[in-house]
């Protein structure tokens, strides 16, 4: 169902103007067919790379894929697409992993923009939300927003963090370092 929704989303969305965001960048539409609030084109390109690399157009909630061989050269970077609830991992120019994710539910924010991993811990507990477990935590801002293993129902449901399938989060953790770039579009 999510795969069909993502495919339909990329196949063609209304190109009507989007409302302005009070304190942020103006809305941008990538390739004039997907209504992103903010994008540099990384998320739409990641979806194209996903189709080319893995021959799929979407994943089921909680599903992820990794390339059979991961290049040893090149910087790792993560692209998060809030619009389609997908996460992509690159090594250099090669897409090496893709997963369904879950970002902030209504009333909370997963921030758009270019970030860097500031802290990594294999296991952590939230200081804000009832000591909730955050396996394979990789924090990207000073307020506690992080990538970590957790619920991935295929729709926004977090307090702002980016929830990843736990095994995917573990593999990602092994590929990143402090300073790894995380791009959040959507």
Look at residue 15 in the predicted model and tell me its pLDDT: 31
Burial of 134 (0-12, 13-18, 19+ CB in 10 A): buried
Q: Which DSSP string do the residues of 52-97 spell out, in sequence order?
A: HHHS-S---TT-EEE-SS--SSS-EEEEEETTTTEEEEEETTEEEE
Question: Coil, helix or strand for 24?
Answer: coil
Beta bridge partner(s), residue 90: 77, 95
Alpha helix (H) residue ranges in the chain: 2-11, 42-54, 166-175
CA atoms within 13 A on the CB side of 178: 4
Separation CA 124–CA 135 (nearest Å): 6
The conformational region for residue 136 under phi > 0 = left, psi -120 to 50 = alpha, else beta, is left
pLDDT tens for 141-161 read 999 999 999 988 889 999 999
pLDDT of residue 117: 98
Kindly state whether residue 132 falls inside one of the protein's structural domains.
Answer: yes
Q: What is the value of pTM for the model shown? A: 0.83
Q: What range does the domain containing 167 cover?
A: 61-185
Question: Does a structural domain hold residue 76?
Answer: yes
pLDDT for the residue 106: 96
pLDDT at residue 128, as a whole number: 86
Q: What is the pLDDT of residue 35?
A: 87
Q: CB of 49 within 8 A of CB of 62?
A: no
In tens, the pLDDT along 25-48 reads: 444 444 556 689 999 999 999 999
pLDDT of residue 33: 65
85 within a domain of the structure (yes/no):
yes
- Indicate the number of domains in the chain: 1
Assess if residue 50 is contained within a domain: no
**Is residue 119 within 8 Å of residue 106, measured between CB atoms?**
no
The residues of the chain scoring below 50 in pLDDT are: 1-30
CATH code of the domain containing 100: 2.40.440.10
């Amino acid at each position: 169902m999510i795969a069909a929704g993502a495919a339909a989303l990329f196949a063609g969305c209304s190109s009507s103007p989007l409302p302005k965001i009070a304190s942020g960048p103006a809305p941008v539409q990538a390739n004039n067919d997907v209504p992103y609030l903010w994008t540099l084109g990384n998320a739409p390109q990641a979806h194209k790379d996903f189709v080319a690399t893995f021959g799929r157009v979407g994943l089921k909630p909680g599903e992820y894929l990794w390339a059979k061989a991961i290049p040893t050269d090149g910087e790792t970077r993560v692209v998060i697409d809030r619009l389609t609830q997908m996460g992509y991992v690159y090594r250099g120019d090669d897409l090496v992993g893709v997963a369904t994710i879950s970002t902030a539910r209504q009333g909370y924010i997963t921030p758009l923009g270019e970030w860097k991993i500031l802290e990594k811990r294999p296991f952590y507990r939230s200081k804000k939300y009832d000591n909730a477990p955050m396996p394979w935590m990789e924090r990207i801002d000073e307020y506690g927003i992080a990538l970590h293993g957790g619920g991935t129902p295929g729709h926004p449901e977090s307090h702002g963090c980016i929830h990843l399938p736990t095994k995917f989060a573990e593999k990602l953790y092994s590929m990143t370092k402090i300073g790894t770039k995380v791009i959040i579009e959507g």
